[in-house]
Amino acid sequence: MSGDSHLTLRLARDENDLMGAKRLRYDVFVEEFGANSDGVDHERRLESDQFDAWVDHLILVDRRREASDHNHVVGAYRLLRSEVAKRQCGYYSSGEFDLSTLIDSGRSLVELGRSCIHSDFRGGTGIYHLWRGLACYILDNKIEIMFGSASFHGTNINELSQALTLLHRHHLAPPDMRVKSWPEHYVSMDRVEAEQLNRSEAIASVPPLIRAYLRLGGFVGDGAYVDHQFNTVDVCLVMDTARMSERHKDHYIQFWEKR
């Protein structure tokens, strides 16, 4: 795409790339959405945690920006493969959800996290580039299941009742993939009686990223988690790559074969 000739998608390869991803996360999660996690460094404008040392950082780079200023990363995904989690650090979302159903399956997993894109690149092809890169990563690493926390902004659970009920009633993961929010902070997603569910209102209030996962054939786990540090309500999204809708799978595979 000629208008995107200045953009490059790749895995982070040096300290400047890592700092750029952390700077973007600060701009989006802290400045835009009000997060204030333990890993926020306001002085240097970075958002980080202990998992950053072990994951792969998929980044979208604007080559017009100086990497030394750490402003060159305009899109990011954090990818944690099961063999790395088992050997090094566990999973980030295990603090919110019981992942034993997935872990005990013995299948190849990748946890997706810290997905964000600079405000200047939303609504265009930025997220499209990230998703195509993610598809290549999944194919290259023979990933069978991808999962991760996905967020609604804000922590007022009652305002999300329509959307959460829709997800629970129509997109609940099958038993062999159904992770569950830990009992001590379990928040039911089944919150509205059937006759009170306004489907169009509910769909409109589901964040675009979650809707995109659902279109690919994704599911949600049982129960939500209120994350006060990040000012979000989280659900766990799970996708079996073998169950991806054929239309989307064919599109990604064709792209991968042409690389």
Per-residue pLDDT of the chain (259 residues; tens, 9 = 90+): 335 788 899 999 999 999 999 999 999 999 998 988 888 999 999 999 999 999 999 999 999 988 888 989 999 999 999 999 999 999 999 999 999 999 999 999 999 999 999 988 887 677 788 888 998 999 999 999 999 999 999 999 999 999 999 999 999 999 999 999 999 999 999 999 988 999 999 999 999 889 888 988 899 999 999 999 999 999 999 999 887 655 555 544 444 333 3
Residues facing 76 on adjacent strands: 59, 116
Give the whole-angstrom CA distance, residue 16 versus residue 113. 20
End-to-end CA distance of the chain: 15
Q: Which pair of structure tokens corresponds to residue 197?
A: 């569910």
CA atoms 59, 60, 63, 65: torsion sign? negative
Can you list the domains of the chain with their CATH numbers? 2-86+96-257 (3.40.630.30)
pTM of this structure:
0.89
Q: Are 22 and 47 in contact (CB under 8 A)?
A: yes
Q: Which pair of structure tokens corresponds to residue 203?
A: 């769909």
CA-CA-CA-CA dihedral for 1, 21, 85, 153, to nearest 10 = -90
Give the whole-angstrom CA distance, residue 64 versus residue 74. 11
User: Which residues, 6 or more positions from 238, have their beta carbon under 8 angstroms from its beta carbon?
Assistant: 102, 145, 146, 147, 173, 177, 178, 179, 218, 219, 220, 221
